[in-house]
């Protein structure tokens, strides 16, 4: 039986990867996480795993040969709080721990598929997997970039091209703005769609940032990617063990925050048998409101992201990504069906 490890297993992306593996009949899964935030258990309560190991002991134990033969490790465990200012904690958690895991994987013969981030690009206006375009705006982005850089050194990676000279697969995914089910534990770091759903349910309106960075109100653009697509691409690389490298994982299609808000509101209206409204109608009826851009985010905020999918397509991954309207509608429907508010 194929044994798989998922770190950050009770987190947003980790739990969805387990769900995707379960859908294939794969259940010999070691879930690794820190359940100090106990309510995260809900993300894995309906999933099939073989064992649970606390993150504090897993990495050392695995390096010493525990847990038997592991085929692959999906490494989603990290501090993903872009506002975290404790650089020592961030570098230990995101860089040093990941490096220890990489060396253990190479020694133990396991493939490593790990979470990087579009935050590595920071203030850049080009989102291609090359050093020239990497300019993180915070220590979170830097912690992810440093590990990517180390993988380039360790594995002989030349820009976005596949690693050379290594027998074990290593893949880094630069996640863009991921949204979807099982993110409720993330608090303020949950997706825009999550917060807008809750806002509309509680206040009857959605709030967006006003003009900033040369963009009109709500017109700042991000590459919003649905969690089902993120899982599909992870599993595509799992199915192709000979392909390694660092790859963007976004839709390749930037859409404004206004699109997300409109999709959330109109999806909820559709479920209530109400007609869809245009953006001007949403604003005029007070269902969409613009608020001043917060000072705390000035200079640290990406107003535009759009994944360049050239490298992903070049290795043969032709997965077709959902647009915001499709993905958000599915997300809203699932939240309503599960009784989330």
Q: Who's near 287: CB < 8 A, 6+ residues apart?
A: 200, 204, 205, 206, 265, 277
Annotated domain spans of the chain: 4-175+225-250+307-315, 187-222+255-306+323-338
How far apart, in whole angstroms, are the C-alpha atoms of residue 112 and residue 161? 17
Q: What is the pTM of this model?
A: 0.94
| 34 annotated to a ligand binding site | yes
Q: List average pLDDT for each run of 10 residues in the chain, which is 341 residues long.
A: 94 98 98 94 97 97 96 89 72 92 96 96 93 92 95 71 67 97 91 96 96 96 97 98 96 98 98 96 97 88 92 97 98 88 47
Angle between helices 324-337 and 257-271 (to 10 degrees): 40
| 60 annotated to a ligand binding site | no
Q: Who's near 80: CB < 8 A, 6+ residues apart?
A: 117, 140, 186, 189
Class of domain 187-222+255-306+323-338: alpha beta
State the sign of the Cα–Cα–Cα–Cα dihedral 227, 228, 229, 230: positive
| 86 annotated to a ligand binding site | no
**Architecture of the domain defined by 4-175+225-250+307-315:** 3-Layer(aba) Sandwich (3.40)
Helix (H, G, I), strand (E, B) or coil at 38: helix
Q: Who's near 246: CB < 8 A, 6+ residues apart?
A: 116, 129, 148, 151, 152, 157, 160, 171, 172, 174, 311
Residue 59 · residue 98 · CB < 8 Å: no
How far apart, in whole angstroms, are the C-alpha atoms of residue 257 and residue 177? 11
List the structure tokens of 71. Answer: 């085929």
Residues belonging to the active site: 140, 186
List the structure tokens of 338. Answer: 């599960």
């Amino acid at each position: 039986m194929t044994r798989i490890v998922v770190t950050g297993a009770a987190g947003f992306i980790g739990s969805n990867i387990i769900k995707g593996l379960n859908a294939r009949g794969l259940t010999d899964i070691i879930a690794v996480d820190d359940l100090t935030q106990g309510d995260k258990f809900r993300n894995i309560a309906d999933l099939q795993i073989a064992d649970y190991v606390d993150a504090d002991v897993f990495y050392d134990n695995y390096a010493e040969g525990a847990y038997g033969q592991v085929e692959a490790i999906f490494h989603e465990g990290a501090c993903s709080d872009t506002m975290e200012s404790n650089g020592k904690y961030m570098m230990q958690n995101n860089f040093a721990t990941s490096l220890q895991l990489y060396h253990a994987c190479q020694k133990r013969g396991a493939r490593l598929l790990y979470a990087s981030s579009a935050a590595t690009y920071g203030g850049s206006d080009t989102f291609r997997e090359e050093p020239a375009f990497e300019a993180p705006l915070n220590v979170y982005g830097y912690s992810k970039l440093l590990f990517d850089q180390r993988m380039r050194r360790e594995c002989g990676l030349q820009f976005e091209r596949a690693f050379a000279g290594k027998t074990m697969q290593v893949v880094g995914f630069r996640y863009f703005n991921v949204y979807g089910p099982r993110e409720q534990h993330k608090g303020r770091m949950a997706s825009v769609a999550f917060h807008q759903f809750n806002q509309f349910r509680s206040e009857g309106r959605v709030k967006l940032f006003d003009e900033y960075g040369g963009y009109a109100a709500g017109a700042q653009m991000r590459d919003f990617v649905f969690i089902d697509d993120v899982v599909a691409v992870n599993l595509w690389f799992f199915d192709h063990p000979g392909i390694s490298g660092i790859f963007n994982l976004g839709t390749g299609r930037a859409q404004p925050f206004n699109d997300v808000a409109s999709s959330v509101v109109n999806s909820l209206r559709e479920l209530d048998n109400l007609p869809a409204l245009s953006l001007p109608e949403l604003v005029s009826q007070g269902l969409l409101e613009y608020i001043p851009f917060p000072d705390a985010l000035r200079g640290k905020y990406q107003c535009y992201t759009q994944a360049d999918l050239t490298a992903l397509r070049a290795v043969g991954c032709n997965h077709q990504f959902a647009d915001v309207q499709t993905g958000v509608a599915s997300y809203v429907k699932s939240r309503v069906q599960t009784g989330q508010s």
